[in-house]
Amino acid sequence: MTVPDAPPAALWRRIAGVLGAVAVSASAFAILQHKVWVDFLAVAEQVGSSRLGWLAVAVLLVPVQVVLAAERWRMCSAELGLPLDRRAAAQEFGLGMALNQILPGGVGGDVVRVWRQRRRGWIVATRAAVADRMVGWVVLAATAAAGLLAWTPLTGTPAPEGALPAAASVAALGLAVIALPKGIFGIGTLSSDARSLLFARPLELVGLSLALTVSILASFGACALAVDGQPGGWLLTAGPVALLAMSIPLSFAGWGLREASLVPLLAMLGWSPETALATSVLAGITLFIGALPGLLVLWLSPAKPET
């Protein structure tokens, strides 16, 4: 009798990645339920009876987000010596966003995007993708910090406990991302790339990042309207905090992290936890639906084999 071969180490790593992402998302939902008790049946009812018109708006905003993010990536790539045309950048970024919705960690699509550019140079493709992420994260961190500082003027309610230290910490972390010395192996070079990009094209990169953030927050607002919530100051205060939590590459497409950050903050603004959670869940669903067409790139433009 032959003994079957043990699964390769790569397979075990993939399994561990999937299980880890599931555990993070599940734990975040458990923490949410502990912090703010939610009637999940009521949430399901709100999601099921949500207004399709507003959900369609949220879905249609996803291609806008793809175009904005792809243009930022194209600029970063060009500055680092990897020119891309706009159509190719939009196709590849659309594919990456779609894959990030179904692969654990939220960065698998970025890895595939780099892999599909490998014939033009692994190193520069990796640097461009990571630097693009870092530039976007720095702008998002600054937006979240500003939103926390402006909480009371924008919402008319007292700021959450610890908002000032949290804003300072987020701002400091964002600054640190682009301030690391180049001599630090690996991460120092990437930090230097992001820093150079922001100095080289500050208006374009910051403007695109802000436009991307606004478009995502607009989709949040559409999802809120779909369940009788209301757009308002929360989009500029709690919204960026939720986006920042989603950007942590640990869960499935930000699921759980988005809810655990957004729902308690909206509850502080007088929202029912059920409406807040329904809004967040619909934001995740519409992002998933809007991003899925990106998978067509695998059929329309398959990766070319190495020669």
Burial of 114 (0-12, 13-18, 19+ CB in 10 A): buried
Residues with Cβ < 8 Å from 7, sequence gap 6 or more? none
What does 159-219 look like in DSSP terms, one character per residue?
Answer: PPTTHHHHHHHHHHHHHHHTTS-TTSTTHHHHHHHHHHHHHHSHHHHHHHHHHHHHHHHHH
20 belongs to a structural domain: no
Confidence (pLDDT) at 304: 58
84 belongs to a structural domain: yes
H or E element, residue 253: none
126 belongs to a structural domain: yes
d(CA 77, CA 89): 10
Q: What is the pLDDT of residues 60-90, one digit of tens each?
A: 999 999 999 999 999 999 999 889 899 999 9
Three-class SS of residue 301? coil
d(CA 79, CA 72): 11
Segment 266-293 mean pLDDT: 96
Confidence (pLDDT) at 237: 96
6 belongs to a structural domain: no
Q: What is the pLDDT of residues 190-201, one digit of tens each?
A: 889 899 999 999
Q: What is the pLDDT of residues 17-72, one digit of tens each?
A: 677 888 888 898 888 888 888 999 999 999 999 999 999 999 999 999 999 999 99
Q: What is the pLDDT of residues 228-263, one digit of tens each?
A: 988 899 999 999 999 999 998 888 888 999 999 999
Domain of residue 127: give its range.
39-300
Q: How far is CA 237 from the centre of its chain?
A: 17
Helix pair angle (202-226, 187-200), 10° resolution: 100
14 belongs to a structural domain: no
Domain count, the chain: 1
Confidence (pLDDT) at 306: 47
Give per-residue burial for 73-105: e unless 16+ CB within 10 Å, then b: bbbbbebbebebeeebbbbbbbbbbbbbbebbb
The rounded percent of the chain whose pLDDT value lies above 90 is 62
H or E element, residue 66: helix 52-79
The rounded percent of the chain whose pLDDT value lies above 70 is 93
Residues with Cβ < 8 Å from 95, sequence gap 6 or more? 109, 112, 113, 116, 294, 295, 297, 298
Confidence (pLDDT) at 1: 45
pTM: 0.90
129 belongs to a structural domain: yes
Confidence (pLDDT) at 10: 62
32 belongs to a structural domain: no
Mean residue pLDDT of the chain comes to: 89
Of 104, 122, 57, the closest CA to residue 248 belongs to: 104
2 belongs to a structural domain: no
